[in-house]
Amino acid sequence: MNAGTTPTAAEAFAACFAQPPRVVASAPGRVNLLGEHTDYNGGLVLPMALRDLCVNVAIGAGDTPGVIDVYSDIFRDTARRAITEAPSSHWSDYVLGAVKAAATEQVSREGIRIALTANVPLGAGLSSSAALEVATLRALATFYGVEADPVDVALRARSVENDFVGMPCGIMDQFASSVGQPGAALMLDTRTLDHTPAPTLTGHRFVILHSGVSHKLTEDGYATRVAECRAACTALGVEMLSDLGPADLGRIAEIASPLDRRARHIVTENRRVEAGFRALTEGDSATFGRLMVESHASQRDDYEITVPETDLLVETALTEGALGARQTGGGFGGALVVLLATERVEDWSDKMTRAFPATHVVAVT
């Protein structure tokens, strides 16, 4: 929880509802260092919860049984949703879904008021939606006096995204936000939920650079990749693509295009996560940077989720001295994560934002 930002949520609640909230909670966004689109394939990921970039949620008692009154400082908008409502492709669906998952009975009796603020940029691939779900579930647990196990919160948050909002994502974003420690990477097996903290690279920083191209993952591209992976599983006779390894690349090459490329990305990306965790453990920044570059190439050529703007930014980032760079998040725009020696960060950031005025540095961690 980020105490430095919680007063903002409290103030937003008080300004909207003319009374102070009873509970304020927050949850961080995340950047994924390696392991893209592997989570819904039962694979390995290496995310990092972000310092100082979070969603904050304030909660107080409502005045109408069965009704959620919610204000978003992000959208400067209010919504009144009934606990019985279906999703409506509105920003408040994430809040409504979290309330349904955790407090349907209580809100049906009493109603509830919620205000939210955030400094996680939308459309950057940094999991603002997962942070909103986790923060809302944390706040509800405190409000109703229920113990909130971090893994259970992550699973509930993913259910909100999958079953209510309609986004067929894996568990990585919610797990990183709920279980991860801000500023520390986490090696996660998304099938077993086994997870291990990863050390930082001494003398190096990860810079998150927004490309200036926003994305919306509920559009067709993401769901199409999920469907393609399921079709590849059928063609290869496996439950999940992460059941496959390097020894299977030959038979993967024999299935129809583009399913062969989608499966190849998952297999090789899982291996990159394993190698990346070893590199972090050994303090090997050069190897980790190389793996980031390979990951971006696989996203571009095999998974086809990059855009020309992020491809050019990665190329330029490396030319300007980065050890590694890749598009991070669900794809089709968003942010880059870039590995730099600490002493290069300021000069590199200045050169990149001058050369590409639509970009900006979101965070350095």
For the annotated catalytic residues, the residue numbers are 173
Using CA atoms, how far apart are residues 11 and 336, in angstroms rounded to an integer? 33
Using CA atoms, how far apart are residues 125 and 173, in angstroms rounded to an integer? 10
Helix (H) or strand (E) holding 212: strand 204-213
Residue 192 is encoded by which pair of tokens?
A: 């077993």
Q: Report which residue type is found at 121.
A: P
CB atoms near residue 113 (< 10 Å): 22
Using CA atoms, how far apart are residues 277 and 274, in angstroms rounded to an integer? 5
- State the alpha helices, DSSP H only, in 208-324: 220-236, 249-252, 259-282, 285-298, 308-319
> Would you report the helix, strand and coil content of the chain in percent, each value rounded to 5?
45, 25, 30
Buried-state track 267-302, b at ≥16 Cβ within 10 A, e below 16: bbbbebbbbbbebbeeebbebbbbbbbbbbbbbbeb
Kindly give, in sequence order, each residue whose CB lies less than 8 Å from that of residue 24, ignoring residues fewer than 6 positions away. 6, 9, 10, 13, 56, 57, 58, 59, 139
Angle at CA 197, nearest 5°, toward 303 and 139?
90
Sequential DSSP letters for 10-54: HHHHHHHHSS--SEEEEEEEEEEEE--S-GGGT-EEEEEEEEEEE
Kindly give, in sequence order, each residue whose CB lies less than 8 Å from that of residue 331, ignoring residues fewer than 6 positions away. 36, 37, 125, 215, 221, 222, 225, 299, 303, 305, 306
| Nearest Cα residue to 26 out of 160, 161, 117 | 117
Residue 156 is encoded by which pair of tokens?
A: 């509930």
Q: Is 117 helix (H, G, I), strand (E, B) or coil?
A: strand
